[in-house]
Structures are given as C-alpha cells and as structure tokens.
Amino acid sequence: MNKPSIPKGTRDFSPLEMSKRNYIFDTIRSVFALYGFKQIETPAMETLQTLLGKYGEEGDKLLFKVLNSGDYLSKIDREELVNGNPLHLASKLCEKGLRYDLTVPFARFVVMHRDELQLPFKRYQIQPVWRADRPQKGRYREFYQCDADVVGSDSLLNEIELMQIIDTVFTRFGVRVQIKINNRKILTGIAEYINEADKIVPITVAIDKLEKVGLDNVNAELAEDGLSKEAIEKLQPVISLSGSNEEKLDVISNILKDSEIGTKGVEELRYIFGVLDKSNLKNEVQFDLTLARGLNYYTGAIFEVKSLDVQIGSITGGGRYDNLTGIFGMPGLSGVGISFGADRIFDVLNALDLYPENAMSGTRLMFINFGEKEMAYCLPIAAKARENGIATEIYPDAAKMKKQMNYANNCNVHYVAIAGENEINENKITLKNMLTGEQRLVDADELVSIVKS
C-alpha cells in the first residue's frame, strides 16, 4: 500500500507549530486593529477573469487553475485536445483559479462593494494564497499573506502609519529589522535622466537584484535589455549612492532637478522621513535606491523589510499604487499597502528562539483518572478551572498512573491534579507542579489560584 503524501510545496503543521503560527497571526492582527484596520476575507477561488492578466505573463503561468465540474471535455474536440495550446485549452476547461495574492481579490472586493464602503477604507486580510512555483527552501506553493491596505486616500500619513505598524509588529516579536524605502517616481525620474524612459521596467527589475547578484551582473543585464553604454555609465553613481538618508536625498534631488516626476518622488520621501524621524521608531528606516520591487503596479513609495540577525529574503513589503481598481473598470482610486510574510517570519522567530512561553503552552492542568467515582468528584473542579480561563483536560481512561503521568510530561502539562479516596474524604485535591516536582494538598479555590499564577 502506498504511503500517504501531500503535494510538493505544501506542509502539515503540528500543534506546536500551529501555536507558533497563531502567535504570529494574533500579534499582526492586534497591531492592524490598533491602527483602525478592519478584517475582511475573500474566497480561496476567484474567476479566472478576475485573476488572468493582472500579474504579467509569468504570473499567469503560476496560477493554479480549477477544472470545471461536470463533463468539462464535452465542448472540446479531440484534435484540439491533442494539439491545442495549453493556455488556450485551460481557458476552456477552467473558469476558476486559486488566488495568487490578496491584492487583486481586494481590488475586486472594493469595486464590487463600492457603495457599501466608507472611504478611506482600511482593511486587513490574513489568508493563504497559492502559486504553481518550483518549491525550494523558503518558497512554498501554499503560503499565508498578512496584508493591510488603505484605499481612497492620497495622504502620505498612510505610508507613515504603515511604517509604524511594521516597527510595532517587529518590536513585539523582538526581531531587529531594517525598513528600506524607495519611490517609483524617483526610479521613473532616473530612467528619464539616463534618456531611457521607455525602459523603466527592465531598469527597475535589474537594479532590484543588486544585493543578490552584484553590480557587474546588474550592468550586464541592463546591456542585455538594450540600454546604451552611456546610459549604464550615467546610472552608476545613482545606484551606488551612500551616506545618510538626508545626504542621499540631496544628491538624488540634484540629479533629478529637471525631472518633474523624480522631484515629486524626492519631496514625498523627504516628508515621510521627516515625520518618521520624530516618531521614535525602534528600527532603522533607510532610503535604498536599489529597492524596486517586482510588481509593476506600484506608483509611489515602496517598502521592504529585512531581518538583521537572520539571513533570509524580504519578510515584509509593499507600496503605493494609484490605479489598482482601474483593472476592474473603476479608475482613479489610490491605495497603499503592506504584506507580512508569515512563513518567513516563522523561520526568523524559530532561528532566534523568540516565541514567548505562554504562546507555546497548551494544557496547563490535567486531572488523573482513577475511575468513575473519582471523575465525578473532579469534573466540577475542572469546570471551575476552565471558568477561570485555565486550559484543563481530564485523562479520558482510567489507565495506569505511570502512563497518565508520561502523557502529561510529553504534552508539557504544567500541573497535574490527583484525587483518590483520601483526597475525596478531605474534600481536597493533590496538586503536583510538573516542573519542580512539588506536591500540595489544596482545596478547589487554592488550586485555581496556584495554577492561574
């Protein structure tokens, strides 16, 4: 018989791992709520009409498509089935797909529910997404995104609040991070400055890889994309900027003084940094001109967060987009958002062993089972413990004492309650601290007080 397995790029999570993941989700959720964001959910499946064409050609290939139910082959002739183009065939066989991210479904949600929404609309969403990518370390086919977006407001205060949210979340996790900020308007200005305005996309894609592949490889890619030698030379001092945020902005401001859009980008970043400097953030915010972020719908500020103590890719990212809902026929609605990478944050917290003990604890109190009479005595005490918020269980079978104590040990139960004939006669219970081995004879109120403390 074949051993059961799960699809590549997906994972099972044990109770301990779920405790850790819930700690991550609960922390992020509580910070989102602290800043006035409201939770929504969208279906795992969207129509392909909603999804296709929103992520570029590469993204379309990575969409998981869902076969139509019923006799889905009836309308396709055999020749087309054998010789047909796979993408064209998929469009006939499938009307639905699993969502690729949370942003496009959110844009669809805003357009569909426009009349019910109060703008600006601040939403957060914590749900899984699916990509038919090649699985590798840190990259999965099913993973969670934790997104927060504000739509219907052009104010840069939204960008500032999102930076404060990032800072608060990672401070609560105890993770030291560097928050990198850039602006797509500056990148557009740079493309104009080197007289390659029509090549903004390949320029940003190439310089986004600077940290990973180095300057020489970036220059080689730019040359491959058809940039002239003069343009690449002109670009060198720009992408090799150094100094403080203020110094870098001064240099780039001077370079882009003749670019209206570039100047606007510099002004936006000056304002954001100016306010953040007075906001007492715990983590460093850095102007990084090489930050370009792959998705081409960003139009203003863009952000990325790196862990300082664990070598791993970006653990949070986002930016400003001016026309996301335009893809669904509702132009001109500006938005800005961030997405926390829960799976990478999980790996960082594991590497640094930063999970608080109370987030990992399951059952705090367990009652030993000696039989029906003893259970009848213990049940009201267990109920009282639960009423006081203590995670409590009763061993289901009257098994040997050693077996029950081993179970408590293996499940990291803090306290074991024992009630035999002597305890029942005295209307008491023996409470054992499994960490210290100390035992005490207590009444129900004392038991609750000790276990709670």
CA–CA separation, 405 and 253 (whole Å):
69
**Coil, strand or helix at 160:** helix
- Residue 367 dihedral angles phi and psi, to the nearest 5°: -95, 130
Pairwise CA distance, residues 390 & 169, whole Å: 27
Question: What are the percentages of helix, strand and coil residues in the chain, rounded to 5?
Answer: 45, 20, 35
Residue 430 identity? T
DSSP-derived secondary structure letter, 85: -
Return the number of other C-beta atoms located less than 10 Å from residue 74's C-beta: 6
Indicate the annotated binding residues for L-histidine. 101-103, 131, 145, 149, 293, 297-298
Binding annotation: 101-103, 131, 145, 149, 293, 297-298
Is the Cβ–Cβ distance between 239 and 221 less than 8 Å?
A: no
225-231: long-range pairs with CB below 8 Å, 24+: 225/199, 226/199, 226/202, 227/194, 227/196, 227/199, 227/202, 227/203, 228/196, 230/194, 231/194, 231/195, 231/196
Please give the Cα distance from 313 to 294 (Å, whole number).
14
DSSP string, 225-255: TT--HHHHHHHHHHHT--S-HHHHHHHHHHH
Cis peptide before 15 (omega within 30 of 0): no
Report how far residue 269's alpha carbon sits from residue 342's, in angstroms, rounded to the nearest whole number: 27
Is the CB of residue 320 less than 8 Å from the CB of residue 299?
A: yes
